[in-house]
Structures are given as C-alpha cells and as structure tokens.
Chain A
Amino acid sequence: DAGVTQSPTHLIKTRGQHVTLRCSPISGHKSVSWYQQVLGQGPQFIFQYYEKEERGRGNFPDRFSARQFPNYSSELNVNALLLGDSALYLCASSLVAGGHNEQFFGPGTRLTVL
C-alpha cells in the first residue's frame, strides 16, 4: 500500500510569494495534519483536518491556511513568504483525529525562501 505522498519535494521561492503544498494520506485515513520542522528542532504543529473540517490550529500566523478535499487529500497554503518560513513541511496521516491515533508522516516538502 502506498504511504503518505507529498508534492513537490523541493521548492524555492522568494520573499513575498505564495506557495501551495499538497498531501495525499494513506488510503482509508481520514485525518491529515501539517507540521513545520526547522533544522535542529522537532516538528511544530500547524493544522489538523478531519473529514474536511479543521480540528485544530497551531500557533502560526494567518498567512498559513489549509483545506481538506472530499478525497481526504489536503493543501497547505502560505502567503507573503518570509525568510523564516524556510523549513521542511510535513504532512501526517491518521485514521481519525485525536486519541490513541498513530500519525504517519510523508516524505515532506523542503521549502527554501530567498
């Protein structure tokens, strides 16, 4: 079975631009979470979606937004990019949201903002 897939793998943008990252969860999984990981730190939670509804939002500015589609895939959008947005963006898939639910990560999208 295919795992979590993310696209693109790498992305280079300049300050002020907009970016869209995409994620497809494991087949049968209905929840998608987004995390940001900067070098030397653990992933930081950005959003979780379950059944197309936002279930939670981390401490990120409104420049960050996301949505989940009827097929459970998801997009993360970041507007007005800053140098500090350079990071590895990770999508995690789980059967449902919360509780004793294991989250499985995709390969990530490495975003570089110049």
Chain B
Amino acid sequence: QKEVEQNSGPLSVPEGAIASLNCTYSDRGSQSFFWYRQYSGKSPELIMSIYSNGDKEDGRFTAQLNKASQYVSLLIRDSQPSDSATYLCAVMMDSSYKLIFGSGTRLLVRP
C-alpha cells in the first residue's frame, strides 16, 4: 500500500464547474497536509495547507481534512482552463521533516 494515494486521472470538468480532488494516506501519525499544483515542465507550487479536521477555504480553493478516515480533498470552484495541471497531495508526520507525495491527479478543465 502506498503511503499517499491519489487517482492519476485525468479528471475532466467543464469550465465553471467544481473540481474535486481526493487523497488518502496510510500513516495515522500524519499531522500536516498540503496541496501543490504543478504545471507541465514546472516545479510544484503550494496552494493550500491544512492541519486540523474540517474545511479551510482560500479564494476558489477549499481543502477538507478527515483524520479519522485518513482522507484529504481539494475542491476548486468555478474551474478555469488555467487550473489544468497536476495536483499533488503531500503529507508530513509531526515528528518528521519530509513531505511524502502522492503521484498526483491530472486535472483538465474544458473551455
């Protein structure tokens, strides 16, 4: 079982729709959770961090964390073609120092 799992996609949504990206993790000691966006040929860009159960909103992005279910999600409202990218979920244990990444979900937003 991989430590951090994501559906590779592609997830295709029409412009203006809500895109829902999901991530599960195996280590119950995980305390910090991050979403990165990576455009093709570029480096990952941090878009959200979440540390407590519940929702965290930042503009069109909402991160959701459920530690009991070991599940993290990212919602993108009013999706735009410029949101088309690979979204990486990353997890860090509180006693650790390294980010553990999933393989990413490719999102395609159709105009």
Spell out A's residues near B (CB within 8 Å). 33, 35, 40-45, 48, 50, 55-56, 58, 88, 90, 92, 97-108
Contact = CB atoms under 8 A, between A and B. Distances in A.
Interface of B: 4, 31-32, 34, 36, 42-46, 49, 51, 88, 90, 92, 94-104
A100 B43 contact: no
Contacts of A105: 36, 43-46
Contacts of A45: 98-100
Contacts of A106: 43
A40 B31 CA distance: 26
10 contacts: A33-B99, A45-B100, A55-B97, A92-B99, A97-B97, A98-B97, A100-B31, A100-B51, A101-B92, A105-B44
Contacts of B46: 102-105
A42 B103 contact: yes
A88 B97 contact: no
B97 A107 contact: no
B49 A48 contact: no
Contacts of B97: 33, 48, 50, 55-56, 97-98
A111 to B, nearest CB: 14
B103 A107 contact: no
Contacts of B36: 105
A42 B101 contact: yes
Given A33-B97, A48-B97, A99-B94, A42 B102 contact: yes
A107 B44 CA distance: 8
Which of A33, A35, A92, A98 has the largest count of B CB atoms less than 10 A from its CB?
A98
Nearest to B93: A98
A90 B44 contact: yes
The 6 closest A-B pairs by CB, nearest first: A42-B101, A45-B98, A98-B97, A105-B43, A108-B43, A56-B97
B96 A98 contact: yes
Contacts of A107: 42-43
